[in-house]
Amino acid sequence: MAVQHIIRGVLEKNDIPEGVFNLVLGHADVGAAMAADERVPLVSATGSTRMGRAVGAAVGQRLGRALLELGGNNAIILTPQADLDMAMRAIVFGAVGTAGQRCTTTRRLIIHESIYEEVTQRLLAAYAKLPVGHPLQAGTLVGPLIDADAVTLFTTALESVQKEGATLLAGGQVVSSAELHGGHYVLPALVAAENHYATVQAETFAPILYLIKYSGDVTEAIALQNGVKQGLSSAIFTLNLREAEAFLAAPGSDCGIANVNIGTSGAEIGGAFGGEKETGGGRESGSDAWKVYMRRQTNTINYGTELPLAQGIKFDI
């Protein structure tokens, strides 16, 4: 709505009809109608992988174009060479900022066994003092979930992952008080888990951070990171150049965004934003994104007095 308000002023100053840029509020039926409408040559859709499959199928059926930016299951790798003081801020911000409701939210933390206990204790201390409250109140770091359904997804995921063998280390409770005006607030959760758990493999759009232990060298951590169906954002914290290069190289992170010594969330402004695998393959922003929105045409103009034919073919008539 803020963008619509800004654009409205731009349109008025340039005598451009208001209908050039529109904000339409609605449910899935509105999106389905747009995806199926042949008058819409390109549909850019941001949301869940389930939504992307439906949009991609509908647009593809009419041979239109779809730009899909879908789910993420973003991980940060902490190697023994990590600057933990720097990493802690990135981890907590990435996991609980906007209450875990960003496509680049940090959902998995892959920690080398030699520093696992220290990292866990640091996170427990940080989570114990997280200020949860009204987002417009000064000092608040964790606001509400979007609705009651989001709270249900949060609690259901925590119940499911514990049945699979995970341990809830902190948080996970629903917060209710008169001071929060009946909003949908939860305490961000820390969970000791394994990467192969079905719940860990899925994206839960809520503040749940799974702590996953690895041993061996950085290739083991990269394998865990890549071992999910989503491929949006990824990060590694290390002061070892070889580890960083291994992460960025072709056999390294298979995500559309790969960061070194910065978190999964918040540093992507201006870059090509999007991911691979079930994240959809689309890119918003960045140097090449505009190409998706353009109709491309190849032109050949003959300024000579003779007709050239392809590959020097002779075709005399």
255 is catalytic: no
Is 103 labeled as catalytic in the residue annotation?
yes
Residue 168 and residue 173: Cα distance in Å, rounded? 11
User: How many angstroms separate the CA atoms of 139 and 146, rounded?
Assistant: 20
Q: What is the C-alpha to C-alpha distance for residues 261 and 218, in angstroms, rounded to an integer? A: 15
What values do phi and psi take at 46, rounded to 5?
-120, 125
**Which of 18, 38, 103, 118 is the catalytic position?**
103
* 225 touches 253 (CB < 8 A): yes
Residues near 281 by beta carbon (within 8 Å), at least 6 away in sequence: 68, 274, 275
Catalytic position from the list 12, 18, 38, 69:
69
Which stretches of 203-264 are assigned E, i.e. beta strand? 208-214, 230-231, 233-237, 257-260
Whole-number Å distance between alpha carbons of 99 and 120: 20
Active site residues: 69, 103
